[in-house]
Amino acid sequence: MNKEITLRLSGDIEKCVPAGTPFFEVVKMLGQSKDTVGVLVNGLEKDLSAMAEEDAKLELLTVDSPEGLEIYRHTSAHVMAQAVKEIFPSTKITIGPVIKDGFYYDYDFERPFTPEDLVLIEKKMKEIIKRRLPISRIELTKEEAIALFKKRDEPYKVELIEDGLTEPITAYQQGDFIDLCRGPHLPSTGKLKAIKLLSTGGAYWRGDEKNKMLQRIYGTSFSSHLALDAHLKKLEEIKKRDHRRLGKDLDLFSTSDQIGAGLILWHPKGAIMRKVIEDFWRDEHLKADYDFVATPHMAKRELWEQSGHLSFYKENMYEGIDVDGIPYQIKPMNCPFHIMIYKSKLRSYRDLPLRWSELGTVYRYERSGALHGLMRVRGFTQDDAHIFCCPDQIEPEILKVLDFTTHVLGTFGFKDYEIYLSTRPEKYVGSLDRWQQATAALESALKQKGIAYEIDPGEGVFYGPKIDMKIKDSLGRSWQCTTIQVDFNLPERFGMTYRGDDGKAHQPIMIHRALLGSIERFFGVLIEHYAGAFPTWLAPVQTKVIPITEHHQEYANLLQKKLRDVGIRSEVDHRNEKMGLKIREAQLQKIPYMLIVGDKEIAEQSVSVRQRSGVNTTVPLDLCITQIKEEIALKRAV
């Protein structure tokens, strides 16, 4: 007779069961067997088939919880692997983890999987689900595990085990399929409901490009077809918002084979938006007590040696410019130039902090496969600034930057952030003292702001700790834009000093910061965030004047002039086309206001306003202009 043990559940519920009772029995007693996919025993994930051995805190994991969904998807990945093995028995299985929004599994197979293969595999998966195969956990010693996977001719699994897995090694079996896996898993393949294979791609074994290229299949699964459909719909929406697509449709930017990969051509409509962004940026920097500097696009190789870029950033730098026999290189960063300005004269502690900003265009080598629209390019403009200060100014300056950042990003419509504090990495320069001081200053600033943040241990730059901010867009995706980095290294390397109140030379601290990151990338994020339907203050064409017939052109021109006189960007559609077509095209161009004028409007000096939303009103001409003007002045979001 087993002794009774007590399982404590949430809400002070206690359940006593004999030791050795499997959790699925416990779950059944609790009447929760339908939705439960696993359990947390004292915070550790366990299979439903595991036994309750001793007194413990018990939590039930449903597929609606993040952990439960992980279990569900991990089993989905196993079912996919089983399906692949059944269709293509020569395939070797490798690893198949759960990722955000789904799962993947990497296979060693003689050729890439085709979309037709995916259809077959998905069909087979559904069949395996229908078989309702029980999934069982097997515990093995290292030798047993190696023997098992050698016998099954799965060399990748053997390698993983030999590479230092600790006993007990666990595997999961469903039907004839056995996979090395930590688990936990669903009790049966029959528990899976909505599953979809999405795409294929190459992936290196263990993520190392020196290793063999494997064939990866991505998929996702949900506990209901409704949830799956909603997810697929979101993927569609993401595709529709693709900034490369919209960039072309809205005539904002392009690239050209003849110019080169990763180099952006800004068309008039993109460039006017860029001007608006940059004007706003400059105005706000002036208000925030920054000064502007401007620096060249290249410098002698020697400068980059002194800055250390040629030792730690060489692979991202372009070289090969020869000026009268002296080697020059295009700049990948602006900092050395700002330092040279600092060093152009003696600085006093009374001068600090110095805040110097520049929209500085830099060029960095990116691997051809990494290039992506505006998000990853080889030439871009950083909204850069360097703050030179003494050590005890770090914290107030960081506070100021944080306030400034939320103000600037907020104006663009980004109100949600994820914030990371990255601390000292293994390879670093500078004294531990300084690291501690700077890290404490960053942390204290974040705490004072009451901002929630996560610590990214060891992810700081070698020259100092940093704060990274990711903005969340309208689809909930996050984008890294803002970075605020403390630097002890460059002031040291360049022998920067200021005269302190003691009359002695001291070394300033340098804070690098970019709020938008790069104008190109930020622009790409803006496009996707708004799906091209920009707030009026940003829209390249703010108003489209649409005369109904040729007879109304004069009035249309007058209206356009009035709009332009108060700084509203306006175009007139003079074409000999019907109004319906003109509206359609203005709508597709996502122009905020269509101003339609005909006989009626001329008679009463009014304008028929069709908003992008489809709302129609007729208002007196002057009122219409004032209202739009006000909306732009307030940078109102739509």
Select which of 74, 124, 331, 364 is catalytic: 364
Give the pair of three-digit tokens for residue 279: 């004007």
Please name every residue paired with 39 in a beta bridge, in sequence order, or none if there are none: 46, 60
Contacts of 576 (CB under 8 A, 6+ apart): 550
**257 assigned to active site:** no
Nearer to RNA, 170 or 497 (CB): 170
Nearer to RNA, 451 or 638 (CB): 638
Select which of 47, 179, 384, 487 is catalytic: 384
First to last CA, the chain: 70
Nearer to RNA, 262 or 464 (CB): 262
CB atoms within 10 A of CB 465: 28
Give the pair of three-digit tokens for residue 406: 């939320």
Give the pair of three-digit tokens for residue 343: 């060093």
Select which of 382, 393, 437, 560 is catalytic: 382
Least Å from the CB of residue 393 to RNA: 36
**390 assigned to active site:** no
Between CA 71 and CA 63 the distance in angstroms is: 8
Asked whether 572 and 541 are in contact (CB, 8 A), the reply is no
**Residue found by looking up tokens 């410019």 in the block:** 321
Cα 145 versus chain centre, distance: 39
- DSSP state letters, 507-524: PPEEEEEEEEEEHHHHHH
Contacts of 577 (CB under 8 A, 6+ apart): none
Select which of 216, 355, 378, 386 is catalytic: 386
Least Å from the CB of residue 560 to RNA: 17
Nearer to RNA, 310 or 579 (CB): 579
Contacts of 189 (CB under 8 A, 6+ apart): 75, 79, 128, 129, 131, 132, 133, 135, 174
Asked whether 602 and 555 are in contact (CB, 8 A), the reply is yes
Nearer to RNA, 90 or 576 (CB): 576
Between CA 37 and CA 347 the distance in angstroms is: 66
**364 assigned to active site:** yes
Between CA 376 and CA 387 the distance in angstroms is: 26
**225 assigned to active site:** no
> Given phi > 0 = left and psi -120 to 50 = alpha, else beta, which region is 271?
alpha
Select which of 335, 389, 481, 624 is catalytic: 335
Helices (H), 243-367: 243-249, 268-287, 301-307, 309-312, 335-342
Closest to 379 in 3D by CA, of 264, 221, 471, 282:
264
Asked whether 187 and 48 are in contact (CB, 8 A), the reply is yes
Interface residues with RNA (CB under 7 A) are 95-100, 112, 160-161, 165-166, 169-170, 179-182, 199, 201-204, 206-209, 213, 216, 218, 244, 248, 255, 257, 260-262, 367-373, 548-551, 575-581, 583-584, 587-588, 594, 596, 598-601, 608, 610, 614, 616, 618
Give the pair of three-digit tokens for residue 558: 């007058």
Least Å from the CB of residue 113 to RNA: 9
**Residue found by looking up tokens 């000096």 in the block:** 605
**335 assigned to active site:** yes
Select which of 216, 231, 355, 512 is catalytic: 512
Least Å from the CB of residue 257 to RNA: 5
Closest to 375 in 3D by CA, of 244, 472, 277, 548:
244
Phi/psi of residue 169, nearest 5 degrees: -85, 135
Asked whether 137 and 46 are in contact (CB, 8 A), the reply is no
**248 assigned to active site:** no
Cis geometry, peptide bond prior to residue 184 (ω within 30 degrees of 0)? yes
Which is it for the CA torsion 436, 437, 442, 443, positive or negative? positive
Between CA 331 and CA 337 the distance in angstroms is: 9
**512 assigned to active site:** yes
CA angle 64, 65, 71 (to 5 degrees): 95
**Residue found by looking up tokens 């732009």 in the block:** 632
CA angle 250, 368, 466 (to 5 degrees): 85
Taking each helix axis from N to C end, the angle separating 115-130 and 66-87, rounded to the nearest 10 degrees, works out to 110
Least Å from the CB of residue 146 to RNA: 11
Nearer to RNA, 193 or 206 (CB): 206
Least Å from the CB of residue 447 to RNA: 28
Nearer to RNA, 333 or 607 (CB): 607
Nearer to RNA, 477 or 499 (CB): 477
Q: Which pairing describes strands 213-222 and 194-204: parallel, antiparallel, or unpaired?
A: antiparallel
User: What positions carry a catalytic annotation?
Assistant: 335, 364, 382, 384, 386, 466, 512
